[in-house]
A and B are shown apart, each in its own frame.
Chain A
Amino acid sequence: MLTKRIIPCLDCDLQVPEGRVVKGVEFKQIRYAGNPVELATRYYEDGADEIVILDITASHERRGTMKEVIERLTENVFIPICVGGGIRKVEDYVNMLKAGADKCSTNTAAIHNPNLLTEAAEVVGSQAVVIGIDAKRRYIDDETQALDKNVIETDKGLCWFDCSIYGGREFTGIDAISWAQTCQEKGAGEILLTSMDGDGTKDGYDLDLTKAINDSVDIPVIASGGVGTPEHIKEAFTIANASAALAASIFHFNEYPVPVVKKYLKEHGVNVRM
């Protein structure tokens, strides 16, 4: 059977030559984790199933640097690579794929122009079109407060999920569940789902969010945001039924290297590639 994927994520600052991988809580308390090419190579050798590399500066001027990073990285890394940050036009997808990437993730540009997903899918195929959804819980007292939203019952009360753009700096009021379904119809082949509540907390993925989105679409969902332990990753698979789990700092700072996580998952009955 298809295995569950473990995906290290490299948040890259491309304002220095070759880029550098950073990690911070909501972009505060930034720590440097290393060089993207070296880290990606280490994760590949460790048995990671895929690598996501995000340009956190998301600036169009740095496209060239990202391209060079991907070109160098894919000389030695033979697993799928997904690139995100600053993907705005079909041309950006094409250029990243030509550099050796397999998928591109977009969020803000797709919210502004959902047809970008369709246009990109026609050129590079749906499998290369990943939609990034960054969602935040909006708690309500009763459903009448959010009649046009998909309301979920959680341990902390009723809530719906609000899509954010520009790396969490702006909220759209768009319901994440409906948006996920729209993206699937428009041609997205996968969802990279980040919980804005969980991101950087190490308290675990937002399982309610992940399950709700996963149940409402047929395309695979990658859980992201909040992982602190291998048990959290297990829950993303066993409770929320995600297809893949993304994590950054637990890998970067060697708290739980990829082989340790995979061994834990296998021992707990999760089907992973060893």
Chain B
Amino acid sequence: MITIINYNSGNLRSIHNGFTKIGYNAEITSNPEKIADSEFLVLPGVGAFGSVMKNIEPFKDLIYEHINDDKPFLGICLGLQVLLSSSEEAVGIKGLNIFKGSVNKIPYGRKIPHMGWNKLNVLKNCPILEGVDGKYFYFVHSYHANPEDEEIVSGITDYGVNLVASLSNNNCFATQFHPEKSGVAGLKILKNFVNLKK
């Protein structure tokens, strides 16, 4: 079962529609039992780091458990950023700390947010990024992830500076861009995700 955590974060419907489009039924839910039972867990993220951390508080242990069991997990946009330890967007609020490191404001001297379609450069073998190296994806964010362990960075994008586009470690994946808003290339990532073997 594919489960999308519902914590009132705006547009959850599009990610659900994305799975439907590729032939899978995903469930948008805030029911802890369903989240605990889910095979594939998706953490979308829209809004701000602080509010997302507050809103996912009831689901934190379920997320840790899912990732510790090495079941497929996908964080999207802020769902990537909250996997880190902290963010400049919400000083003093702790992230999930699944990946050590910080989230920082995109350097000035360019339009912020980084909004629009940018090219994904795949840096390492990553099952969910199969077949999408060099494709364009839709990004919209003002902050970017800086993980301590560079080995987990699976993709970057060039915005005058290199920005983390995706992270992966075992079955824990996260994209800064929105696969559900990135046309055919984005749907390919969703397909790769549901095709993961546990």
Contact = CB atoms under 8 A, between A and B. Distances in A.
Interface range on chain B (Cβ under 8 Å from partner): 35 or more
Contacts of B13: 71, 74, 98-100
A78 B140 CA distance: 15
B181 A79 contact: yes
Interface stretch (B107-115, B122-130, B164-172): B107-115
Nearest to A75: B17
Contacts of B92: none
B52 to A, nearest CB: 10
B31 interface: no
Contact of A220 (B47, B116, B160, B187): B116
A238 interface: no
A87 B11 CA distance: 17
Given A78-B180, A79-B138, A101 B116 contact: no
Nearest to B142: A126
Interface residues of A, number: 36
Interface string B121-164: 00000000000000010111110000000000000001110000
Interface string A123-145: 11111100000000000000000
A34 interface: no
B17 A123 contact: no
B18 interface: yes
B96 to A, nearest CB: 19
A98 B11 contact: yes
B23 interface: no
Contact of A2 (B18, B141, B159): B159
Contacts of B114: 2
Contacts of B18: 78
18 contacts: A1-B119, A1-B158, A2-B116, A78-B180, A79-B182, A80-B140, A100-B13, A102-B11, A102-B181, A122-B51, A123-B47, A127-B46, A127-B113, A218-B112, A219-B113, A220-B113, A243-B111, A273-B117
Lowest 10 A-B CB distances belong to which pairs? A97-B10, A273-B136, A125-B47, A100-B13, A127-B140, A273-B117, A97-B11, A3-B117, A2-B118, A220-B111
Interface of B: 10-14, 17-18, 20-21, 46-48, 51, 108, 111-119, 136, 138-142, 158-160, 178, 180-184, 186-187
Interface of A: 1-5, 44, 49, 71, 74-76, 78-80, 94, 97-102, 122-128, 189-190, 218-220, 243-244, 273
